[in-house]
Chains A and B, each alone.
Chain A
Amino acid sequence: MEPVIPILEAENLERSFGPIQALKGISLKVHSGEIVGLLGPNGAGKTTALRILAGILSPSAGWVRIQGVDLREDPLQAKRRLGFLSGDTQPYQRLTPVEMLRYFGQLYQMEESRLRRRIEELVAMLEMRDFAERRCGTLSTGQKQRANIARAFLHEPEVLILDEPTTALDVVTGQFIIQSIRREREAGRAILLSTHIMGEAEYLCDRIYLLHEGLVFDHGSVGDILVRTACSNLNDAFLCYAKP
């Protein structure tokens, strides 16, 4: 049965950087238990949009609500409900994954017992036992990304915002991350995912927003988009839209 309550909503988001208008008014919704993809070429405004939705940047216009909580009016409450992960984020080099998780757990004001339990769960789930007590600066790229994922999932947020989470990862690790994301969807999370890898988007996403030059120029399920563009895969569909 299709979920109807949007957990993450954004309406008419705009953002300028000096003379450059990165976002010209985008709106989107993500429901619990679904993965929504945000796709587009470089410079489309994906990263800006995700940063605004994560509360890192403020929009010039528009609003964002997370489970009905306005991100601008009550940022602390809204941010407690979301987890953010970026493919280019590094963990703290001189902390171990466990120390980093404890740190963020304290920032999210998690109770000590719950924090301890979650750390154990995540270490087991993401197969981090071998390196959980080693400093992050000594870990491989894949291990660092697992530590990052653990940080994003730590406080069991209702919303996950993932900005190219499998960037620079090998196939095995990438696949591991994808399966973790799917598990979170099964657990009822609302997930907004940005990726350059169309195959990944086709496999994971229930719905997709296509972004170009700061505007959403199409959205819908993968099937609907393929039908509208008369293409057999997302890659071709995207190229159809991207042609002048």
Chain B
Amino acid sequence: MRWGIVLVIFLKELRESLRDRRTLIMMIGLPILLYPALSLFVGSLVQSRQASMESRTSQIAVWGNLPAPLSDHLKRHTNILLQPWLGISEVLRKDLESDTAEGLQAVAPTNSSSMKPDRSTDGEMAKDPFFIAARSLLTERKADAVLIPWPGIARALDRNGLGQVSIYSDSVRGDSREAERRLTEALRQYRRALVAEREQILDLEPGFGTGLQINNWNVAPNRRQTGLVLGSLLPFLLIVLTASSGIYAAIDLTAGEKERNTMQTLLCAPIHCSEVIGGKFLAVWSISLLAALANFASVAATTARMLPSEMNVQVGLSTYLLAFLLLIPVAFIVSAVYLAVAVFARDFKDGQNFLTPVIFLVMFPGAITLIPDLELNVWNSFIPLANIALLIKALFMGELQAELVFLTLISCVAHAGLALLLASRVFAREQILLGGHGTFSTLFSRTAPRNEDPSPALAAVVYGFLITVVFYGSLLLQDSEIITSVVVSELGFFLLPVVLLTLALGFSPRRTFALGRPTGAGLLAAVLIGGSAWTFIGGILIRLLPPPESFVKAMEKILLLRQDTPPLWTVWLVLALIPAVCEEFFFRGFILAALRRLGRWPAILISALLFGLAHASIYRLLPTLCLGVLLGWLVWKTGSISCGILAHALNNGIPLTLLNTAAQDSVADSASNPFLPWSLTLAGSAVLMIGILLLAAIPARPEDSSSPDRTSRGPIPV
């Protein structure tokens, strides 16, 4: 792929798109207008509604005889108007006046402190005649609330007893909710005054009647409370608007080109399909990012104006910048998916029909932040788009956790890569590209001749899929025995799939898994490297990014250091040999073979990076990446997976043996000193250097290709 040609196509597509009025409106016009309009319109509406409600007097139907002091107290509240016996039937009135209403004490709430309007709208209460009458009155809006002072209240209060009142309100009506609130507050004031008076009369200690004062404090600072509101709404809006802005460009650059018959003109130019998809993708991605930027600028400006005055709080520019950075993978994924889907369309209208369902698919994960109390965790950190939405929410709330950020970003890289591969695969299909009758199933037809290496595209798809399976599988197995969990994960998720895939697709197992016979020098290098790499990792690399204590304790559990001491052969089998075999077959076998055509060092480095990312921890990334480079080079140079397996097994087994021995012999907490002593580190590093020099001295194999294949004819077929 020639990046110069990709750039030419990208600049042309971007120029054309930016000259389109509809793209500009979606990209810039809408965001700039939307947020200020929303804040002004919604804000004004809410404010005026609030003002209107506050100025309105609540109409309270009073069914019963209020004691005079209570009546006077309520009348002093000018926002309440008492309407005696409003809307009550004669039968019920007679009951209340004559103290003969049946089941009055049962109906009247026994827990008078919980005067909530949302109590019991079904069941027993719904059969009560007063409830039914109150419901009817309020539904017909003849009053805002109904107050029933139950018979005997005056007598009870006179005798320093318990008087009972009931308030009926309609929670669906704002004015009824306001009436209920005002009435409750007024009655509470009366109750406080009444209790204070009784305490004085009876010469009791102040607080006798209350008993226990409960003070509730909300420790969440304004900033965090604001963050919760912004973090719930903004990710959804931002993701949907960013995603929407790319749709038109994606359709125009694919189905639009087909409709105008310019696609075939482009294809007869001396360019690869991969360059076409590269240029078009960059254009759609850029437009989505420009839209994201416009959205952010508008949001930042709107909230910068509103928040200080309304809530006495400010959100920092860095928060917005970080949130914008998090939208980059969102724009990447949706742009690739749009292109892949839109290219199936034959014209613009077809394209809109194809992409409308896709927009809904984007909206749903984006809306996850609207669910209360749902936060980013290990389970949802791998769900595309939803994880970003939750991460932005966590950002606004100031609750980022390094491990979850890391997992989310790995997931984004994997999903983005898969999306781009899908788009690339679609573009490689002539039928689809030229407006023919290509179907979705043609994407999965195999065009490459058998007995070649797997392709980088296939490796990426397999990696993305299996890593997701490993991730969720490990979570499901986390309550199982460590031994069971490790064996199932390694054999079931790493080894078996790639072996079966290799056989099913007809790749040569000998070539794919480097099953060649190792030389003596290769084996010696493997022993030296595997036997000493852990000292370099444990002594130097870990010091660069020391893990927290919680991480160390978790690792000890995984490494069986906190259990009844398992036999050493178990440790070697489960934690050294099985992972070595399975992971070497996957990473230095299948993945490295697939990347072979990129050249030696790109293949080794990429496979090492994937190896590091697969360990799903930011603290393990650097050590495992470095180990992956060593193992990759070892297998490449020797042409034998057995060297990689040997080195990997030794790298795992030796330190575990030492740690297990130390755990048996002493009660020292290894978490207190996770680093190796310098003496051991230096000695081990010297041995490692010897191993590396020995490996470098091994002559290159005849079939060793250290330069990439430069006769690529387009997207590498899967």
Contact = CB atoms under 8 A, between A and B. Distances in A.
Contacts of A99: 15
Interface in B405-457: 430-431, 434, 436-437
A171 interface: no
B321 interface: no
Given A56-B434, A107-B8, A51 B270 contact: no
Interface string B256-273: 000011101101111110
B12 A56 contact: no
Contact of A90 (B19, B261, B267, B271): B261
B713 interface: yes
Nearest to A51: B264
B185 interface: no
Contact of B16 (A55, A76, A89, A92): A92
Contact of B265 (A80, A109, A135, A151): A151
Given A17-B436, A92-B16, A79 B268 contact: yes
A89 B261 CA distance: 5
Interface string B542-572: 0000000000000000000000000000000
Contacts of A93: 16, 260
A108 B270 contact: yes
B20 interface: yes
B5 interface: yes
Given A54-B268, A90-B261, A103 B436 contact: no
B264 A103 contact: no
A95 B265 contact: no
A84 interface: yes
A159 to B, nearest CB: 11
A80 B268 CA distance: 9
Contact of A86 (B8, B265, B270, B431): B265
Contact of A77 (B264, B270, B431): B270
A244 interface: no
A106 B19 CA distance: 21
A99 to B, nearest CB: 8
Interface residues of A, number: 34
A89 B8 contact: no
A94 B20 contact: yes
A106 B7 CA distance: 10
A79 B270 contact: yes
Given A94-B16, A108-B270, A75 B713 contact: yes
Contacts of B437: 17-18
Interface string A5-18: 00000000000011
Nearest to B20: A94
Contacts of A89: 260-262, 264-265
A73 to B, nearest CB: 9
Nearest to A47: B264
A176 interface: no
A96 to B, nearest CB: 11
Interface string B262-306: 101101111110000000000000000000000000000000000
B434 A57 contact: yes
Contact of B268 (A56, A58, A91): A56
Interface in B579-593: none
Interface string B112-129: 000000000000000000
A154 B201 CA distance: 107
Contact of A107 (B16, B19, B269, B430): B269
B270 A107 contact: yes
B678 to A, nearest CB: 57
A79 B269 contact: yes
Nearest to A53: B268
Q: Which of B5, B12, B431, B437 has the most CB of A within 10 A?
A: B12
A56 B713 contact: no
B280 to A, nearest CB: 13
A93 B17 CA distance: 11
Nearest to B271: A107
A58 B430 contact: yes
B12 to A, nearest CB: 5
Nearest to A77: B270
B192 to A, nearest CB: 73
B260 A56 contact: no
Contact of A92 (B8, B262, B264): B262
Interface string A52-86: 00111110000000000000000111011010101
A84 B15 contact: no
A131 interface: no
Contacts of A92: 12, 16, 260, 262
B270 to A, nearest CB: 4
Contacts of B434: 51, 56-57
B10 to A, nearest CB: 11
Interface string B605-634: 000000000000000000000000000000
A15 to B, nearest CB: 10
Contacts of A108: 269-270
A160 to B, nearest CB: 11
Given A75-B713, A76-B270, A95 B264 contact: no
Interface of A: 17-18, 51, 54-58, 75-77, 79-80, 82, 84, 86, 88-95, 99, 103-104, 106-109, 135, 148, 151
The 6 closest A-B pairs by CB, nearest first: A79-B270, A84-B268, A90-B260, A94-B19, A76-B270, A54-B268
28 contacts: A51-B264, A51-B434, A54-B264, A55-B268, A56-B264, A56-B267, A56-B268, A56-B434, A57-B434, A76-B270, A82-B268, A84-B264, A86-B261, A88-B261, A89-B265, A90-B260, A90-B262, A92-B12, A92-B16, A92-B260, A92-B262, A94-B20, A95-B12, A95-B16, A99-B15, A107-B9, A107-B270, A109-B5
Given A103-B12, A104-B269, 18 more contacts: A51-B434, A54-B268, A56-B268, A56-B430, A56-B434, A57-B434, A75-B713, A77-B270, A86-B261, A86-B265, A88-B261, A89-B260, A89-B262, A92-B16, A92-B260, A92-B262, A106-B8, A151-B265
